[in-house]
Amino acid sequence: MMKHICLILVLALAGCGGNVPAKYQSRKVPLCDNPRASLMDVPFTRESKSACAVAVAPFDLGIWHEAPYNSHKVRGAQTVKLGCQPLFPGADDCDYTGPPGNSQSLLMQFDPSVYPERAQVRRAVLAVYAFSNPQGLQEAQLRGRLNVGDDLQSLARRREIISAKSKSDQGWVLFDVTAFAARAINERRNSVQFEISRPCQTMDQAPVAGVLKKEPRLVVEFE
Would you list the domain boundaries of the chain? 25-222
First to last CA, the chain: 48
- Contact between residue 219 and residue 55 where contact means Cβ atoms under 8 Å apart: yes
Note the pLDDT tens digit of each residue in 129-166. 999 989 889 889 999 999 877 889 999 889 999 999 88
Rounded CA-CA distance 182/110 in Å is: 13
Rounded CA-CA distance 52/30 in Å is: 10
Q: Which residues lie closer than 8 Å to 71 by C-beta, 6 or more apart? A: 64, 65
Residue 179: pLDDT over 90: yes
- Overall average pLDDT of the 99-126 stretch: 90
Note the pLDDT tens digit of each residue in 16-51. 333 444 444 458 999 999 999 999 999 999 999 999
| Per-residue model confidence (pLDDT) at position 20 | 41
Rounded CA-CA distance 113/115 in Å is: 5
| Mean pLDDT of the chain, nearest integer | 83
Q: Among the ranges 18-32, 69-83, 174-188, which has the highest mean pLDDT value?
A: 174-188
